[in-house]
């Protein structure tokens, strides 16, 4: 029987935010994983101490310009984090030496443990961890990336995967491949990262420890999670409820089908379990369940930037009639509604808009609408108590839509006490303007469906939080 947790890790901060890092398996050979990890630390500008460790190092040798050591025991200085990137059969000896060196925490990126049937080897490293009360993330993982401290244990070159800017979204992934590809996409979105944690087999530090840490982490505003399975069900339920009561958690569950359950176990030795049981826990904890990977990005954007709201009446403004129709369908399919505008609002809009504009929802202000027409309508709608949020469609292919419009929407959104999302579909010219809005903290979506689903997720969590507070 696999050993269970005998103590709780209260602090994995040295793994997330280390001041000194030893890389066991560091190498000058570009094809080696240890070379990529060391190079990434250098490339991202890690300001702490770096200690390359390689058993084949010559006396007084160097690796990538840094003094190298044959063993972590030779360093004789405090070490917050050790990253182990060597063959699986050599890991126990290296981990034992980390314990003797009083390393605060470890990331084991090496694979070849329970995920391939080598349970005895995995049990052995778990035993070493307990012996020295030394937590580790992994094995079979990417580890952690922290843009603030510039901690980066990923063995993915910076030339192949962009590192996101600093922000408030923490992304946790049991899978390294899902983590790395989604992380790459985050870099192109309009929000930044607080922490990235890929924890693989979860032998010691697991989803309970990670959620516990992120629930109290002041840098984390939103948690985005790819989960395959849970090993401590009761503790997970407790920490999930505590976390959901404090901040939004957007989660996607891998292994919902029988075939997916089997694939999850062979991938990360995960206990996937009943999809219905997980759904119940997520629902009780206020977690927002994503149906597909795109939802992780869509929902993260709105949760990081927009205020909570329990109202579901959405004012839609568009400069393209077809997009307004699509937005109408999307809203109603997600359970959202148009507001019933106050007579004073309709009167003010009628006065401010050209005669061709029909004063109704969705408000189509015309294909020739410019920044001034947009802001005239938005300022009137903002005063209406029946409007809970805004879905603004800005198609930059039209004559009146330009940089001034992007700036106008960004300024309106930054001053709004109600959520604002934008839909803007297009290529190069459009993307240059959506980038401007997203840099100002406005979530922009390619189509109305994504925007409506994101608003629905925000409102759903807002109602959960409101119920908890009341």
Residue 198, helix vs strand vs coil: strand
Average pLDDT of every residue of the chain: 92
Quote the strand ranges of 118-215, DSSP E: 136-137, 143-146, 151-152, 166-173, 193-198
Bridge-partner residues for 50, per DSSP? Answer: 21
Cβ(151)–Cβ(47) under 8 Å? no
Exposed/middle/buried for residue 66 (C-beta within 10 Å: 0-12, 13-18, 19+): middle
pTM of the entire predicted model: 0.90
The position carrying tokens 């004073």 is 344
Averaged pLDDT for residues 388-395: 98
| pLDDT tens by residue, 68-89 | 999 999 999 999 999 999 999 9
Averaged pLDDT for residues 238-258: 87
Instruction: Supply the pLDDT for residue 157.
Output: 85
| pLDDT tens by residue, 403-428 | 999 999 999 999 999 999 999 999 99
Pick the CATH number of 307-469 from 3.20.20.70, 3.40.50.261, 3.40.50.300, 3.40.109.10: 3.40.50.261
CA-based max dimension of the chain? 84
User: Is the link from the previous residue into 439 a cis peptide, with omega within 30 of 0?
Assistant: no
| pLDDT tens by residue, 434-460 | 999 999 999 999 999 999 999 999 999
Q: Which of 172, 269, 274, 262 is nearest to 226 (CA)?
A: 172
Q: Under CATH, to which class is 13-303 assigned?
A: alpha beta
Domain with CATH 3.40.50.261 in the chain: 13-303, 307-469
Quick one: tokens of 170?
């923490």
DSSP assignment string, 20-57: EEEEET--S-TTSHHHHHHHHHHHHT--SEEEEE-TTP
Q: How far is CA 89 from CA 33, 133, 152, 225, 389, in A?
A: 16, 21, 24, 30, 56
The position carrying tokens 């927009």 is 306
Cβ(370)–Cβ(408) under 8 Å? no
Instruction: Output the CA torsion sign for 172, 178, 179, 181.
Output: negative
Buried b (16+ CB within 10 A) or exposed e, 7-34: eebeebebbbbbbbbbbbbbbeeeebbb
């Amino acid at each position: 029987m696999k050993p269970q947790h005998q103590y709780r890790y209260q602090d994995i901060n040295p793994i997330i935010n280390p001041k000194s890092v030893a890389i066991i398996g560091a190498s000058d050979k570009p094809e080696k994983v240890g070379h990529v990890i060391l190079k990434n630390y250098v490339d991202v500008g890690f300001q702490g101490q770096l200690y390359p460790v390689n058993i084949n190092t010559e006396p007084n040798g160097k690796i990538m310009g840094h003094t190298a050591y044959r063993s972590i025991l030779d360093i004789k200085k405090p070490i917050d984090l050790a990253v182990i990137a060597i063959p699986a059969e050599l890991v126990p000896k290296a981990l034992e030496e980390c314990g003797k060196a009083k390393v605060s925490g470890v990331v084991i990126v090496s694979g070849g443990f329970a995920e391939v049937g080598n349970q005895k080897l995995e049990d052995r490293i778990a035993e070493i961890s307990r012996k020295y009360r030394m937590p580790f993330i992994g094995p079979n993982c990417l580890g952690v990336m922290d843009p603030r401290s510039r901690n980066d244990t990923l063995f993915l070159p910076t030339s192949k995967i962009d590192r996101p800017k600093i922000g408030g979204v923490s992304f946790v992934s049991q899978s390294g491949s899902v983590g790395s590809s989604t992380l790459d996409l985050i870099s192109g979105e309009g929000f930044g990262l607080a922490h990235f944690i890929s924890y693989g087999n979860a032998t010691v530090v697991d989803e309970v420890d990670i959620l516990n840490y992120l629930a109290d982490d002041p840098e984390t505003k939103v948690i985005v999670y790819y989960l395959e399975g849970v090993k401590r069900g009761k503790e997970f339920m407790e920490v999930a409820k505590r976390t959901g009561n404090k901040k939004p958690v957007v989660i996607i569950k891998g292994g919902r089908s029988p075939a997916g359950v089997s694939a999850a176990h062979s991938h990360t030795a995960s206990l996937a379990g009943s999809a219905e049981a997980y759904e119940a826990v997520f629902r009780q904890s206020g977690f927002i369940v994503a149906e597909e990977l795109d939802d992780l990005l869509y929902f993260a954007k709105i949760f990081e930037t927009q205020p909570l709201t329990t109202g579901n009446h959405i004012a839609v403004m568009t400069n393209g009639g077809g997009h307004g129709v699509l937005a109408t369908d999307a809203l109603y399919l997600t359970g959202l509604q148009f507001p019933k505008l106050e007579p004073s609002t309709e009167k003010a809009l009628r006065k401010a808009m050209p005669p061709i504009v029909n004063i109704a929802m969705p408000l189509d202000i015309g294909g020739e609408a410019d920044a001034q027409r947009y802001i005239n309508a938005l300022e009137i709608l903002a005063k209406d108590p029946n409007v809970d949020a805004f879905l603004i469609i800005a198609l930059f292919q039209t004559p009146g839509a330009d940089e001034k419009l992007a700036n106008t929407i960004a300024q309106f959104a930054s001053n709004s006490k109600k959520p604002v999302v934008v839909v803007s579909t297009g290529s190069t010219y459009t993307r240059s303007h959506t980038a401007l809005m997203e840099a100002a903290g406005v979530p922009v979506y390619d189509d109305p469906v994504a925007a409506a689903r994101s608003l629905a997720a925000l409102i759903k969590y807002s109602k959960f939080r409101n119920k908890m507070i009341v």
